[in-house]
Amino acid sequence: MIEENIIEKVRDSVRIEDVAAKYIPSLKKIGKNYLGLCPFHKEKTPSFTIAPDKQIFYCFGCNTGGNMFQFISKIDNIGFVESVKKIADIAGIDIDAERGDSSVIDTIRRINKYTMNFYQSYLLSSDGLSGKQYLIERGVAEESINSFKLGFSPDSWDRLSASLIKNKADISLAEKLGLVGKQQKYKGGYFDKFRNRIMFPIFDRSSNVIAFGARAILDTDHPKYLNSPESEIYKKRNVLYGLNFAQNSIRELDRAIVVEGYLDVIGCYQAGITNVVAPLGTALTESHVKILSQLCNEIVMLFDPDSAGIKAALKSIDTAKNFNVKIKIATLPRDDPFDFIKKNGARELMVIVDSAERPVDFKINNVLNKNRNRDKIDVLRELFEIIRSISYSEDENRPIEAEKGVYLTKISQILNIDEEAVRSDYKRFIKGEKNNTSNTIIEKNTSYNTLDYETRAYRDLIHIIVHYPEIIGDVLIDFPLEEIKDPLSKSILSVILQLYNSKNEIRIDKIFDFLSKDIEMDFLNRTIQKEASIDDPKASYTEIYVNLKIHNIDKRINEYVNITKKSGNERIDYLEEIEVLRREKEKLLTYLYHR
């Protein structure tokens, strides 16, 4: 227990609005009170209030309230005594000094600090040359070694343990902290747990050393990483490596970048990217997201491009759903962040961070990338599952169902499947009609005739081109790419025209080099394999061109007819335009019938 007079001293030393501001980025003064997004439940409209005159908080959304101690207890999931100690730390009050006693926590901190200094001194000595050489070869600057207090553990059985005993440290507590172990053969003897490893001190937000991460410098040493066990002051799920350095930058930039490892944090930091942290594992926990949501409104997960990195990203995505923070995912094309920066620079890395994907987009692209050779119908079932799980809208003015509709449109375009069919099958999917899922899509997409007229025309055009490349020069003049609505046709024609522009001739097989999507390559393969026996390719091309012109004229005529039904004084102008279009259409029809 903490004496009442000490509690009152802590209470009088800090104001609740100052404490809350460290956890709620959106907190703003409105009149005499403060208003912000509640940190205890997900909301879009602020309902969390602070009354400075009463020094209390209250949320009208989840009906949570209290004083600053209750606020800290709830937000950090700690008890009353711990909340008083935490606010005392904010106020710079040493509770132990106030109480006139010592605590286990202080002893742990002293042992960890001594150990950190021991390892760093060894790294900087002539004996630690191999460790320092390893860091320099990895690209770690001397300034970073000093800032992050990096160290090196001796390749010795008991150098640290002997030093701790010599300095009368609590060796049994050091054993509990995972720094030393007790020897079985020699009673009372101890050995060092970390040997011949780079030592990364892990700090709390107040820069107290709470644990260590250790990396082997030899590929033959396993495991590659060793970490301290949890203790009274170290709970892995609540700690982010580098947060003590990054918290101010995260708050100022309103964004946290999450990477996978210690060296990634250090590499980003020394390149000037200072709002970077790493979880002490492979994925963000709910506690991590909660901590970061109290500092910023956006978290970007920047993970390695390998399967482990993607799995970590997928595992982390759903942890943000209960907090007022947006989460995005950026995947590097190669390397980890530190190596990527060394090869390409910080600016290129930030381009990737700035173009991070929303969670749903990331999940969709991940399914598409790993299922390139699977049947579209099976892929759709996975995509439907993702869309069904959408629980909030990126646009607060757009309902969730509308958000799902946006993604149904997107996947129909990506997979080149009729949108109406996709929506119809999605409705069946959510009703649980699994056996009927994709029947509509199969019916709508097995027949060429189900495609709209413009799409059929452009795909017929590609068919003529791949068999009779001599007409490409006419296509270049007659068909502006920006007018082509079918994504597949536009993509393939774009490649064909670019290749032709470069040499005024084309090899059809070269088109494949510039296509990235399986659906495009499948279509091109089918088109090439489909026989073409056309007596006059030029005439066939002209027929497609003229019919498309007529089709577009008909569309414009219908538009103007509909407008005239609603128009007033402008009716005559539209009627004149309709007449001009009809005369143009008659000329084109006459040309088709008499050529």
As a whole number of angstroms, the longest Cα–Cα distance in the chain is 109
* DSSP codes joined into one string, 316-327: HHGGGTTSS-EE
Burial class (CB in 10 A: 0-12, 13-18, 19+), 545: middle
Residue 215's contacts (CB-CB under 8 Å, 6 or more residues apart) are: 197, 198, 200, 224, 225, 262
**Domains by residue range for the chain, with CATH:** 4-99 (3.90.580.10), 104-234 (3.90.980.10), 240-357 (3.40.1360.10), 364-450 (no CATH), 453-583 (1.10.860)
Compute CA 157 distance to the chain's CA centroid, rounded to the nearest angstrom: 43
pLDDT at 282: 64
Sign of CA dihedral 206, 207, 208, 211: positive
Which residue type does 121 have? S
Alpha carbon distance 86, 23 (integer Å): 13
pLDDT at 586: 79
Sign of CA dihedral 75, 76, 82, 84: negative
Beta strands in 421-476 (DSSP E): none
- CA dist list (Å): 302 to 265, 279, 282, 307, 439: 11, 12, 12, 13, 39
pLDDT at 435: 45
pLDDT at 592: 61
Burial class (CB in 10 A: 0-12, 13-18, 19+), 152: buried
Going from the first residue of the chain to its last (595 residues), give the mean pLDDT of each consecutive group of 10, the final group possibly shorter: 81 86 89 91 90 88 89 88 87 67 78 97 96 95 96 94 94 94 76 95 92 91 89 88 94 92 95 95 81 87 76 74 82 90 93 90 85 73 88 69 87 82 86 55 47 84 86 85 86 86 72 74 78 79 87 84 65 72 79 59
Neighbouring-strand partners of residue 58? 49, 65
Sign of CA dihedral 468, 472, 473, 479: positive
Query: How many other C-beta atoms can be found within 10 angstroms of the C-beta atom of residue 368?
Result: 19
Residue 43's contacts (CB-CB under 8 Å, 6 or more residues apart) are: 37, 61, 324
Question: What is the four-CA torsion angle of 315, 316, 320, 325, rounded to 10 degrees?
Answer: -150
Alpha carbon distance 197, 228 (integer Å): 13
Alpha carbon distance 269, 577 (integer Å): 64
Q: Of 395, 390, 398, nearest to 426 (Cα)? A: 390
